[in-house]
Amino acid sequence: MTVVLVHGNREVDAIWDPLVEALGRSDVLRLSPPGYGAPLPDDFPATFLAYRDWLERELESIEGPIDLVGHDWGGGHVVNLVMHRPELVRSWASDVLGMFDTDYVWHDNAQVWQTPGDGEQLVNAIFGGTVEDRTERNVSLGIPVDIARAMAQAQGPAMGRALLRLYRSARQPALAEAGRALENAAARPGLFLLATDDHFLGSDEIRRRAAGRAGARIAVLEGLGHWWMVQDPARGAAALADFWRTLEA
Protein backbone atom coordinates (compact mmCIF):
# COMPACT_ATOMS: atom_id res chain seq x y z
CA MET A 1 0.00 0.00 0.00
CA THR A 2 1.23 3.51 -0.80
CA VAL A 3 -0.19 6.78 0.48
CA VAL A 4 0.51 9.57 -2.02
CA LEU A 5 0.20 13.20 -0.89
CA VAL A 6 -0.09 16.14 -3.30
CA HIS A 7 0.11 19.73 -2.04
CA GLY A 8 -1.19 22.92 -3.57
CA ASN A 9 -0.73 26.61 -4.27
CA ARG A 10 2.05 28.59 -2.53
CA GLU A 11 3.19 25.37 -0.87
CA VAL A 12 5.97 22.79 -0.84
CA ASP A 13 5.83 19.23 0.44
CA ALA A 14 6.89 20.35 3.94
CA ILE A 15 3.25 21.35 4.45
CA TRP A 16 2.60 17.64 5.07
CA ASP A 17 5.25 17.19 7.80
CA PRO A 18 2.87 17.28 10.80
CA LEU A 19 0.32 15.02 9.10
CA VAL A 20 2.93 12.45 8.07
CA GLU A 21 4.18 12.32 11.66
CA ALA A 22 0.62 11.90 12.93
CA LEU A 23 -0.08 9.11 10.44
CA GLY A 24 2.92 7.17 11.72
CA ARG A 25 3.31 5.21 8.49
CA SER A 26 6.38 4.30 6.46
CA ASP A 27 4.56 4.00 3.12
CA VAL A 28 3.93 7.70 2.49
CA LEU A 29 5.13 9.37 -0.71
CA ARG A 30 4.90 13.10 -1.43
CA LEU A 31 4.59 14.52 -4.94
CA SER A 32 5.44 18.16 -5.65
CA PRO A 33 3.68 19.65 -8.69
CA PRO A 34 5.98 21.44 -11.19
CA GLY A 35 6.65 24.97 -9.94
CA TYR A 36 5.70 24.18 -6.36
CA GLY A 37 8.89 22.87 -4.82
CA ALA A 38 9.79 21.05 -8.04
CA PRO A 39 11.34 22.47 -11.22
CA LEU A 40 9.01 24.16 -13.71
CA PRO A 41 10.10 22.98 -17.19
CA ASP A 42 10.08 25.67 -19.88
CA ASP A 43 7.64 23.67 -21.97
CA PHE A 44 5.22 22.83 -19.14
CA PRO A 45 1.98 24.81 -19.69
CA ALA A 46 0.92 24.65 -15.99
CA THR A 47 -2.79 24.47 -16.82
CA PHE A 48 -5.09 22.43 -14.60
CA LEU A 49 -5.27 19.75 -17.30
CA ALA A 50 -1.48 19.70 -17.62
CA TYR A 51 -1.21 19.07 -13.88
CA ARG A 52 -3.77 16.28 -14.17
CA ASP A 53 -1.65 14.65 -16.86
CA TRP A 54 1.50 15.17 -14.77
CA LEU A 55 -0.14 13.38 -11.83
CA GLU A 56 -1.30 10.58 -14.11
CA ARG A 57 2.27 9.97 -15.29
CA GLU A 58 3.56 10.02 -11.71
CA LEU A 59 0.99 7.51 -10.48
CA GLU A 60 1.66 5.17 -13.38
CA SER A 61 5.23 4.79 -12.08
CA ILE A 62 4.24 4.05 -8.45
CA GLU A 63 3.61 0.53 -7.22
CA GLY A 64 0.08 0.29 -5.88
CA PRO A 65 -2.44 0.02 -4.48
CA ILE A 66 -2.45 3.80 -4.05
CA ASP A 67 -4.43 5.88 -1.57
CA LEU A 68 -4.25 9.37 -3.07
CA VAL A 69 -4.66 12.51 -0.93
CA GLY A 70 -4.65 16.11 -2.14
CA HIS A 71 -4.87 19.53 -0.50
CA ASP A 72 -5.79 22.86 -2.12
CA TRP A 73 -4.86 22.69 -5.82
CA GLY A 74 -3.25 19.34 -5.06
CA GLY A 75 -6.76 18.25 -4.15
CA GLY A 76 -7.95 19.69 -7.44
CA HIS A 77 -5.36 17.63 -9.30
CA VAL A 78 -6.53 14.55 -7.39
CA VAL A 79 -10.17 15.09 -8.36
CA ASN A 80 -9.27 15.79 -11.97
CA LEU A 81 -7.22 12.59 -12.01
CA VAL A 82 -9.96 10.36 -10.59
CA MET A 83 -12.54 11.84 -12.97
CA HIS A 84 -10.21 10.84 -15.80
CA ARG A 85 -8.30 7.71 -14.65
CA PRO A 86 -9.92 6.31 -11.48
CA GLU A 87 -8.35 2.91 -12.03
CA LEU A 88 -4.94 4.31 -11.05
CA VAL A 89 -5.90 4.49 -7.36
CA ARG A 90 -7.48 2.36 -4.67
CA SER A 91 -9.00 5.45 -3.03
CA TRP A 92 -8.79 9.22 -3.06
CA ALA A 93 -9.25 12.11 -0.65
CA SER A 94 -9.52 15.85 -1.31
CA ASP A 95 -10.50 19.02 0.56
CA VAL A 96 -11.56 21.07 -2.49
CA LEU A 97 -14.54 19.31 -4.06
CA GLY A 98 -16.66 22.47 -3.93
CA MET A 99 -14.58 24.13 -6.63
CA PHE A 100 -16.06 21.70 -9.18
CA ASP A 101 -19.64 22.73 -8.47
CA THR A 102 -21.45 24.72 -11.17
CA ASP A 103 -22.23 27.52 -8.67
CA TYR A 104 -18.68 27.90 -7.34
CA VAL A 105 -17.29 31.45 -7.49
CA TRP A 106 -13.54 31.90 -7.19
CA HIS A 107 -12.29 33.65 -4.05
CA ASP A 108 -11.02 37.23 -4.23
CA ASN A 109 -7.30 36.49 -4.63
CA ALA A 110 -8.01 33.95 -7.37
CA GLN A 111 -10.05 36.49 -9.31
CA VAL A 112 -7.17 38.95 -9.10
CA TRP A 113 -4.67 36.30 -10.26
CA GLN A 114 -6.97 35.59 -13.20
CA THR A 115 -6.82 39.26 -14.26
CA PRO A 116 -3.86 40.21 -16.49
CA GLY A 117 -1.73 42.93 -14.92
CA ASP A 118 -3.44 42.85 -11.54
CA GLY A 119 -2.49 39.20 -11.13
CA GLU A 120 1.18 39.88 -11.78
CA GLN A 121 1.16 42.69 -9.23
CA LEU A 122 -0.38 40.51 -6.54
CA VAL A 123 2.06 37.67 -7.22
CA ASN A 124 4.97 40.11 -6.93
CA ALA A 125 3.59 41.39 -3.63
CA ILE A 126 3.16 37.89 -2.20
CA PHE A 127 6.40 36.37 -3.47
CA GLY A 128 8.55 39.50 -3.38
CA GLY A 129 11.02 40.61 -0.72
CA THR A 130 13.45 38.46 1.21
CA VAL A 131 13.02 34.92 2.42
CA GLU A 132 12.30 36.35 5.87
CA ASP A 133 9.64 38.66 4.43
CA ARG A 134 7.92 35.74 2.76
CA THR A 135 8.30 33.59 5.87
CA GLU A 136 6.48 36.23 7.92
CA ARG A 137 3.67 36.38 5.36
CA ASN A 138 3.32 32.60 5.47
CA VAL A 139 3.30 32.56 9.28
CA SER A 140 0.49 35.14 9.21
CA LEU A 141 -1.62 32.50 7.43
CA GLY A 142 -1.25 30.14 10.37
CA ILE A 143 1.68 28.12 8.99
CA PRO A 144 4.32 26.98 11.56
CA VAL A 145 7.53 28.94 11.14
CA ASP A 146 9.72 26.03 9.97
CA ILE A 147 7.24 25.09 7.26
CA ALA A 148 6.64 28.76 6.44
CA ARG A 149 10.37 29.20 5.83
CA ALA A 150 10.54 26.12 3.59
CA MET A 151 7.67 27.56 1.55
CA ALA A 152 9.33 30.98 1.42
CA GLN A 153 12.53 29.52 0.02
CA ALA A 154 10.58 28.09 -2.95
CA GLN A 155 8.33 31.09 -3.53
CA GLY A 156 9.69 33.08 -6.42
CA PRO A 157 9.32 33.79 -10.14
CA ALA A 158 8.82 30.16 -11.21
CA MET A 159 6.06 29.56 -8.66
CA GLY A 160 4.50 32.86 -9.66
CA ARG A 161 4.41 31.85 -13.32
CA ALA A 162 2.91 28.46 -12.45
CA LEU A 163 0.30 30.09 -10.22
CA LEU A 164 -0.88 32.55 -12.86
CA ARG A 165 -1.08 29.97 -15.62
CA LEU A 166 -2.96 27.54 -13.38
CA TYR A 167 -5.57 29.98 -12.13
CA ARG A 168 -6.11 31.53 -15.54
CA SER A 169 -6.67 28.11 -17.09
CA ALA A 170 -9.34 27.47 -14.46
CA ARG A 171 -11.24 30.73 -14.88
CA GLN A 172 -14.95 29.96 -14.86
CA PRO A 173 -16.71 28.35 -16.60
CA ALA A 174 -13.70 26.10 -17.29
CA LEU A 175 -13.66 24.37 -13.92
CA ALA A 176 -17.44 24.02 -13.76
CA GLU A 177 -17.32 22.36 -17.18
CA ALA A 178 -14.63 19.96 -15.94
CA GLY A 179 -16.86 19.21 -12.96
CA ARG A 180 -19.54 17.78 -15.25
CA ALA A 181 -17.56 14.53 -14.99
CA LEU A 182 -17.59 14.54 -11.18
CA GLU A 183 -19.69 11.38 -11.03
CA ASN A 184 -16.78 9.51 -12.60
CA ALA A 185 -14.87 9.92 -9.33
CA ALA A 186 -17.36 7.58 -7.65
CA ALA A 187 -15.67 4.69 -9.46
CA ARG A 188 -13.24 4.59 -6.52
CA PRO A 189 -13.95 5.21 -2.81
CA GLY A 190 -13.52 8.88 -2.01
CA LEU A 191 -13.26 11.06 1.08
CA PHE A 192 -14.09 14.75 1.24
CA LEU A 193 -12.30 16.52 4.09
CA LEU A 194 -14.66 19.36 4.94
CA ALA A 195 -12.82 21.94 7.06
CA THR A 196 -15.66 24.13 8.29
CA ASP A 197 -13.56 27.31 8.60
CA ASP A 198 -12.06 27.07 5.11
CA HIS A 199 -13.66 30.00 3.31
CA PHE A 200 -11.84 29.65 -0.01
CA LEU A 201 -13.86 26.76 -1.38
CA GLY A 202 -17.52 27.67 -1.42
CA SER A 203 -20.46 27.29 0.92
CA ASP A 204 -21.22 24.20 2.94
CA GLU A 205 -24.12 23.51 0.57
CA ILE A 206 -21.91 23.65 -2.53
CA ARG A 207 -19.24 21.46 -0.99
CA ARG A 208 -21.68 18.81 0.22
CA ARG A 209 -23.46 18.76 -3.14
CA ALA A 210 -20.18 18.15 -4.95
CA ALA A 211 -19.25 15.39 -2.50
CA GLY A 212 -22.58 13.71 -3.16
CA ARG A 213 -22.04 13.78 -6.91
CA ALA A 214 -18.55 12.31 -6.47
CA GLY A 215 -19.89 9.57 -4.20
CA ALA A 216 -17.50 10.69 -1.46
CA ARG A 217 -17.77 10.05 2.23
CA ILE A 218 -17.57 13.33 4.22
CA ALA A 219 -15.27 13.86 7.21
CA VAL A 220 -16.17 17.13 8.93
CA LEU A 221 -13.18 18.91 10.47
CA GLU A 222 -15.12 21.24 12.73
CA GLY A 223 -13.40 24.55 13.47
CA LEU A 224 -10.43 23.89 11.18
CA GLY A 225 -9.43 26.10 8.28
CA HIS A 226 -7.66 25.79 4.95
CA TRP A 227 -4.42 24.48 6.45
CA TRP A 228 -6.06 21.82 8.63
CA MET A 229 -3.05 19.50 8.21
CA VAL A 230 -0.86 21.84 10.27
CA GLN A 231 -3.63 23.23 12.48
CA ASP A 232 -4.68 19.83 13.88
CA PRO A 233 -2.73 17.07 12.13
CA ALA A 234 -3.94 14.40 14.58
CA ARG A 235 -7.55 15.01 13.63
CA GLY A 236 -6.77 14.99 9.93
CA ALA A 237 -4.76 11.79 10.27
CA ALA A 238 -7.60 10.16 12.22
CA ALA A 239 -10.13 11.04 9.51
CA LEU A 240 -7.92 9.51 6.83
CA ALA A 241 -7.12 6.41 8.89
CA ASP A 242 -10.80 5.84 9.63
CA PHE A 243 -11.58 6.08 5.92
CA TRP A 244 -8.83 3.68 4.94
CA ARG A 245 -10.03 1.16 7.55
CA THR A 246 -13.43 1.07 5.82
CA LEU A 247 -11.67 -0.03 2.64
CA GLU A 248 -10.11 -3.01 4.42
CA ALA A 249 -13.54 -4.00 5.76
Q: What is the mean pLDDT of residues 150-156?
A: 98
Beta-sheet strand order (sheet of 28-31): 28-31, 2-6, 66-70, 91-94, 190-195, 216-221
Residue 203 region, left (φ>0) first, then alpha (ψ -120 to 50), else beta? beta
Residue 139 has pLDDT above 90, yes or no: yes
pLDDT one-digit tens code per residue, 165-191: 999 999 999 999 999 999 999 999 999
The CATH superfamily of 2-105+175-248 is: Alpha/Beta hydrolase fold, catalytic domain (3.40.50.1820)
Burial class (CB in 10 A: 0-12, 13-18, 19+), 138: buried
pLDDT one-digit tens code per residue, 23-77: 999 999 999 999 999 999 999 999 999 999 999 999 999 998 999 999 999 999 9
Per domain, the residue ranges of the chain are 2-105+175-248
Residue 249 has pLDDT above 80, yes or no: no
pLDDT one-digit tens code per residue, 196-232: 999 998 999 999 999 999 999 999 999 999 999 999 9
For residue 34, the cross-strand partners are 38
| Distance (Å) of CA 56 to CA 30, 50, 83 | 14, 10, 11
